[in-house]
Amino acid sequence: MPEIKVTPLGAGQDVGRSCILVSIAGKNVMLDCGMHMGYNDDRRFPDFSYITQNGRLTDFLDCVIISHFHLDHCGALPYFSEMVGYDGPIYMTHPTKAICPILLEDYRKITVDKKGETNFFTSQMIKDCMKKVVAVHLHQTVQVDEELEIKAYYAGHVLGAAMFQIKVGCESVVYTGDYNMTPDRHLGAAWIDKCRPDLLITESTYATTIRDSKRCRERDFLKKVHETVERGGKVLIPVFALGRAQELCILLETFWERMNLKAPIYFSTGLTEKANHYYKLFITWTNQKIRKTFVQRNMFEFKHIKAFDRAFADNPGPMVVFATPGMLHAGQSLQIFRKWAGNEKNMVIMPGYCVQGTVGHKILSGQRKLEMEGRQILEVKMQVEYMSFSAHADAKGIMQLIRQAEPRNVLLVHGEAKKMEFLKQKIEQEFHVSCFMPANGETTSILTNPCIPVDISLGLLKRETAIGPLPDAKRPKLMHGTLLMKDNSFRLVSPEQALKELGLAEHQLRFTCRVHIQDPRKEHETVLRVYNHLKGILKDYSVQHLPDGSITVESILIQATAHSEDQGTKVLLVSWTYQDEELGSYLTSLLKKGLPQSPP
């Protein structure tokens, strides 16, 4: 039985360091190549030695697919390709290819320049690595080699995020990467067709959550910002550079536009500017509204949002500032926070989750007095708000995607084990498909039952389907033909052609049978009686009396001779070919019953 083998090197019952190995019909594919944010030692990258101890990786992997540009999905790529050594193709979408190196470079800078690590990949390595990347379009079927093909679907998680279908022959796997089923202000919803893969590998970050409508969240956020600005206060929004930051920018930008507001909005860091440039370019990857209006105005050409300068923080009057990093643990956002924290008119909005130990986490848990470096005590008088803007599918979204794709098996990755357990049970219960959740390094085998395509000549197909009343594809149909297995290909051909191709002579199989009839008359009279009898019964068949004294019914031959010993008994010889078996046996049984007693 053929099987699909899946081994997560990262992201198995865990979030971060996504890296999944898939073997399908003899092909090995690596899905994502990420780093883990929680570790700073060897554990931050997947253990590539699992793939091979001493051989070259290129010999073991047919291709690598990167789903999107977040570092936990692509962070280990330069290490993998340049330091461990992989020369095969790497596939990602165009926006990912464009933005990914920016983030990798940033990551490198922080690790090498700030933390002073030495054994790390260099800028040149990033460049070399990106040269191996093949960019793909949405819904474009890419032939990796003769048998392996991949196809990208829209995932809606960040710009350029994609789900990938990997297909070899009739077996296929869909890997979702991270995805979002509810559209937001700059991206659409994930979509996949009914591709019915053998296995669906899906993320399950929010396996146990059903989220409220995004509208309430947006409205709350906008109202808070608006109120503060109207009061004359300053709003600080700490964000990570890419992804949600653009979402919030669009949200505020359109709101400012709609409401005719004048207060300035600033965005810190140069990194984002570069990335924003790509957002402007890849309009086709955004949602309906942006795609429809970009002819009049590109939504990412912000009218109200300007670059931030350090000096602006002291300006009087209301303003909104987006600053990095998102957890207030260092950098510009923390600086601004220290300046503004003392005024109760100001507000800080945390748009995402904060790790324990960061300033962000402390203020969110209600701490009002913070101890800063140098034993300073910072009193926080500004309002602190929390808004969750996350672009992962919730439990309902995951179920919806499974419903859309109709897979035969589901495998969960990128989530916590306890939460997966719940979702797994739900999936098995609602869809009646088996569901797996391997841990890192654990291999799951899935038996498949692939269909084997067979070529059939058009002539034969037409001839065979012509018999019978109505072609009905929904029901299996019996066909006569010869299966030829030659040169690794299967063909269904007509028997004649098969004989011709194989150079075999045709053999005929004939059945003969003798039937004894008591009839005292002369032979030819007996023949005549048999003839009349058959003619009377088999009205639909051609019954002929040949001049040499034999009878043919279609192709069945009947001859009569007198019994050598008993002249009163006539022997009828019935002979038919194998193809006419049905009619032949019917005739014999008919003749065995004897002739009707005709009037003498």
Partner 1 sequence: MAAHLKKRVYEEFTKVVQQQHEDLSTKKLRLTKPSKSAALHVDLCKATSPADALQYLLQFARKPVEVESVEGVVRILLEHYYKENDASVRLKIASLLGLLSKTAGFSPDCIMDDAINTLQNEKSHQVLAQLLDTLLVIGTKLPENPSVRMRLVEVACKHLTDSSHGVRNKCLQLIGCLGPVEKGGAKEAESQAAKDVQKIIGDHFNDQDPRVRTAAIKAMLQLHERGLKLQQAIYSQACKLLADDYEQVRSAAVQLIWVLSQLYPESIVPIPSSNEEIRLVDDAFGKICHMVSDGSWVVRVQAAKLLGSMQQVSSHFLEQTLDKKLMSDLRRKRTAHERAKELYSSGEFSSGRKWGDDAPKEEIDTGAVNLIESGACGAFVHGLEDEMYEVRIAAVEALCMLAQSSPSFAEKCLDFLVDMFNDEIEEVRLQSIHTMRKISHNITLREDQLDTVLAVLEDSSRDIREALHELLCCTNVSTKEGIHLALVELLKNLTKYPTDRESIWKCLKFLGSRHPTLVLPLVPELLSTHPFFDTPEPDMDDPAYIAVLVLIFNAAKSCPTMPALFSDHTFRHYAYLRDSLSHLVPPLRLPGRKLVSSAVSPSITPHEDPSQQFLHQSLERVYNFQHLDPRGIQELLEFTIRDLQRLGELQSELAGMADFTATYLQCQLLLIKALQEKLWNVAAPLYLKQNALASAAAKQILEETYKMEFMYSGVESRQVVIIHHMRLQAKALQLIVTARTTRGVEPLFGMCEKFLQEVDSFQRCFISELPHMQGSFVDKLLDLMPRLVTSKPSEVVKILQTTLRQSTFLHLPLPEQLHRATANIIEPTGESDNPLRFTSGLVVALDVDATLEHVQDPQGTVKVQVLYPDGQAQLIHPKPADFRNPGPGRHRLITQVYLSHTAWTEPCQIEVRLLLAYNSNRSKASTRIPKSTWNESLESLPPSENGIEGTIPFSKPVKVYIMPKPARR
Q: Which of 471, 547, 599, 600 is close enough to bind partner 1 by CB under 8 A?
A: 471
Task: Pick between residue 115 and residue 475 the one whose CB is nearest to partner 1.
Answer: 475
Give CA–CA dist 11/453, Å, rounded: 35
Tracing tokens 């990570």 back to the chain, one arrives at 240
Four-point Cα dihedral 110, 113, 115, 119, nearest 10: 100
Task: Pick between residue 470 and residue 485 the one whose CB is nearest to partner 1.
Answer: 470
Task: Pick between residue 98 and residue 327 the one whose CB is nearest to partner 1.
Answer: 327
> Kind and range of the H or E element at 514?
strand 510-518
Task: Pick between residue 32 and residue 178 the one whose CB is nearest to partner 1.
Answer: 178
Query: Interface residues for partner 1 in 126-155 (CB under 8 A)?
Result: none
Site string for partner 1, 278-317 (x = CB under 8 A): ---------xxx----------------------------
258 in contact with partner 1 (CB under 8 A): yes
Give CA–CA dist 462/201, Å, rounded: 41
Q: What are phi and psi of 314, to 5 degrees?
A: -90, -5
260 in contact with partner 1 (CB under 8 A): yes
488 in contact with partner 1 (CB under 8 A): no
384 in contact with partner 1 (CB under 8 A): yes
Candidates 108-116, 128-136, 258-266, 524-532: pick the segment binding partner 1 (CB under 8 A): 258-266
**Shortest distance, CB of residue 366 to partner 1, whole angstroms?**
7
CB 171, CB 25: distance < 8 Å: yes
Tracing tokens 């049978």 back to the chain, one arrives at 513
Q: Which of 214, 297, 477, 480 is close enough to bind partner 1 by CB under 8 A?
A: 214
The alpha carbon of residue 359 and the mean position of all alpha carbons in its chain are separated, in whole angstroms, by 39
Q: What are phi and psi of 401, to 5 degrees?
A: -65, -40
Contacting residues for 596 by C-beta, under 8 A, at least 6 apart: 533
532 in contact with partner 1 (CB under 8 A): no
Task: Pick between residue 250 and residue 527 the one whose CB is nearest to partner 1.
Answer: 250
CA distances for 225 relative to 72, 228, 389, angstroms: 31, 5, 15
| Residue 459: how many other CB atoms lie within 10 Å | 11
Site string for partner 1, 151-190 (x = CB under 8 A): -------------------------------xx-x--xx-
Q: Annotated catalytic residue: which of 82, 171, 203, 247?
A: 203
Task: Pick between residue 210 and residue 505 the one whose CB is nearest to partner 1.
Answer: 210
Task: Pick between residue 180 and residue 269 the one whose CB is nearest to partner 1.
Answer: 180
CA distances for 120 relative to 33, 104, 365, angstroms: 16, 12, 36
Query: For this structure, is 218 an active site residue?
Result: no
474 in contact with partner 1 (CB under 8 A): yes
- SS3 state at 600: coil
CA distances for 4 relative to 24, 76, 131, 443, angstroms: 5, 25, 30, 10
The alpha carbon of residue 437 and the mean position of all alpha carbons in its chain are separated, in whole angstroms, by 17
217 in contact with partner 1 (CB under 8 A): yes
193 in contact with partner 1 (CB under 8 A): yes
**Shortest distance, CB of residue 318 to partner 1, whole angstroms?**
16
Candidates 145-153, 268-276, 418-426, 576-584: pick the segment binding partner 1 (CB under 8 A): 418-426
220 in contact with partner 1 (CB under 8 A): yes
Q: Identify which of 45, 67, 34, 43 has the alpha carbon closest to the alpha carbon of residue 392.
A: 67
> Kind and range of the H or E element at 23?
strand 19-24
425 in contact with partner 1 (CB under 8 A): yes
**Shortest distance, CB of residue 151 to partner 1, whole angstroms?**
16
Four-point Cα dihedral 535, 537, 538, 542, nearest 10: 10
Q: Which amino acid is at 194?
A: K
Site string for partner 1, 336-375 (x = CB under 8 A): --------------x-------------xxx---------
Q: Which of 53, 131, 143, 216 is close enough to bind partner 1 by CB under 8 A?
A: 216
CA distances for 215 relative to 118, 121, 211, 212, 417, angstroms: 47, 43, 11, 8, 30
Give CA–CA dist 505/579, Å, rounded: 17
Give CA–CA dist 90/73, Å, rounded: 13
**Shortest distance, CB of residue 367 to partner 1, whole angstroms?**
11
* Active site members: 203
Binding site for partner 1 (CB under 8 A): 182-183, 185, 188-189, 191-194, 208-220, 222-223, 226, 254, 257-260, 287-289, 350, 364-366, 383-386, 395-396, 399-400, 403-404, 419, 422, 425-426, 430-431, 465, 469-474
